[in-house]
Amino acid sequence: MTFTATVTSSAGTPTGTVVFYNGTTSMGSASLSGGIASLQAPGFHHGTYPITAAYQGSSSFAGSTSPILYQVVHELVYATSTSLETSRTPILVGQSVTFFASVAARYDGSSPPDGELIYFSDNHGTDLGSVPMQGGSASVTTSALIAAKHTIIARYNGDGVYGKSHGLLTQIVDKYSSTTTLTSSVNPAVYGQPITYTITVASSAPGGPTGVVNLTGFGSLPLVGGVATITKGEVRVGTHTLTAEYKGDDESSKSTSSVLDEVVNPASTTTVLTSSANPSSAGQKVTFTATVTSSTGVDPFGKVTFTAGTTTLGTVALKDGTASVSTAALPVGSTAITAAYGGADGFTGSSVSIVQVVQ
């Protein structure tokens, strides 16, 4: 950097020496030639410097000092660009991936000094590490990315010579696919027969499928070793359309089973009729008791109608599987007594007859 001082006088052209100062520090001196003196002063860094020129005078001319010249020296910074590449995309969650970053000056192509750091991160708040450059490049390997669409960022923060810059790329991390299977222990079933539903979720994720599955009408069931089961003892009669939906976890994607149509038929019943006295005497009170049982052991409900020949003795509701009716009006002789169970939701009807002898 060269500083030039011009010394003038109304009495002619001054001669002699000019001393140049940086603040109070002398930078050197130069002789006037035609009233002009110049000094080359190398070594200025970025900053602001107060420069003055002091003419030392001579036998014919008095000395003088210039006003302060504030010399501003700007920092020399090369603009940089950061490029970023991935070893592969997409990947599955838990798989490793390597990101490669390179930093170069945008105009002269040079690289920042080795050892300066490149900071790797993603838009989900994951710090992937800071790595020193070698030859303007650095890389980082990770297997910690969650299943998502990631924006990976490589940042170079710059120094006194090279400006900061950053590079971006999109990294896709997918979950492992899963399949869900729903099976029934018995289909078709009858009312009152226990039915066990088994949901099996398969996934090649390192941790296997975890979490819960939703079974139609039964809510959420926890997976244990990829399997969930539930047993229901009294599924209502009819056709039930069931599906199992796996909700997924951090590694495995969600999936839904095929439709399972569970058919539940009514349970068959057997009716047994007994008499409190057979034979009986004319005018004697006789009690008839009907006991209704089901093929699955569940107590039927509903009503039993008792008849003596064509005469209805009464219709009585079952309680704990039994119903009774009493009469003292049976005629002398043999009479067919019938107990007819009419059936109900989940149970078929049944009937039985006995011959009551009245003497």
pLDDT tens digit sequence for 74-101:
766 789 999 999 999 999 999 999 999 9
Sign of the alpha-carbon torsion through 294, 296, 297, 299: negative
Residue 264 pLDDT level (bands cut at 50, 70, 90): very high
Q: Which amino acid is at 312?
A: T
pLDDT at 344: 96
CATH of the domain at 230: 2.60.40.10
Q: What angle do CA 313, 318, 319 make, to 5 degrees?
A: 130
Which SS3 state, helix, strand or coil, does residue 139 take? strand
Query: What pLDDT does 75 receive?
Result: 63
Pairing between strand 165-174 and 91-92?
Answer: parallel
pLDDT band at 108 (very low <50, low <70, confident <90, very high): confident
- Give dist(CA 56, CA 230) in Å, integer: 107
Q: What is the pLDDT of residues 135-155, one digit of tens each?
A: 999 999 999 999 999 999 999
| End residue of a domain, out of 265, 291, 319 | 265
For residue 65 the two structure tokens come to 């000092």
CA distances from 179 to 65, 94, 147, 225, 276 (A): 91, 20, 18, 14, 63
What percentage of the chain carries pLDDT values higher than 70? Answer: 99
The DSSP bridge pattern shows strands 189-190 and 260-265 to be parallel
Q: Say yes or no: 46 and 106 in one domain.
A: no
Q: Is the distance from CB of 313 to CB of 336 less than 8 angstroms?
A: no
Residues 137 and 190 in one domain: no
The 10s digit of each residue's pLDDT in 191-217 is: 999 999 999 999 999 989 999 999 999
Same domain, 66 and 90: no
How many other CB atoms are found less than 10 A from the CB of residue 229? 14
Q: Is there a single domain that holds both residue 274 and residue 261? A: no
What are the DSSP calls for 300-342, one per residue? Answer: P-SEEEEEETTEEEEEEE-BTTEEEEEES-PPSEEEEEEEEE-
pLDDT of residue 1: 87
Same domain, 92 and 160: yes
Encoded tokens for 30: 């130069």
Count of domains for the chain = 4
Q: Which of 76, 84, 135 is nearest to 110 (CA)?
A: 135
Question: What gap in Å lies between CA 235 and CA 262, rounded to an integer?
Answer: 10
Do 85 and 169 reside in the same domain of the chain?
Answer: yes
Cα 277 to Cα 14, 35, 312, 323, 328, distances in angstroms: 158, 155, 19, 17, 11
pLDDT mean over 118-127: 94
pLDDT digits (tens, 9 = 90+) for 2-11: 999 999 998 8
In this structure, are 260 and 341 located in the same domain? no
Neighbour count for residue 294 (Cβ, 10 Å): 21
Name the strand (E) or helix (H) holding 21.
strand 17-22
182 residue type, one letter: L
User: What is the Cβ-side half-sphere exposure of residue 29, based on CA atoms within 13 angstroms?
Assistant: 10
pTM over 0.75, yes/no: no
Could you tell me the residue range of the domain that residue 151 belongs to? 80-174
Of 218, 250, 265, the residue at which a domain comes to its end is 265
**Within 13 A of 324's CA, how many CA atoms are on the CB side?**
11
Among candidate residues 276, 267, 273, 221, the one with its CA nearest the CA of residue 243: 221
Name residue 335's beta-bridge partners. Answer: 356
Domain closes at, from 130, 156, 174 = 174
Answer yes or no: do 90 and 146 share one domain.
Answer: yes
pLDDT of residue 226: 97
Does residue 91 sit in the same domain as residue 66?
A: no
Tell which residue, 201, 337, 188, 180, has the closest CA to residue 267.
188
C-beta of residue 341 within 8 angstroms of C-beta of residue 269: yes
Q: Give the pLDDT confidence of 227-242 residue by residue, as tens digits.
A: 999 999 889 999 999 9
pLDDT in tens, 47-64: 899 999 999 999 999 999
Structure tokens at 290: 């009907």
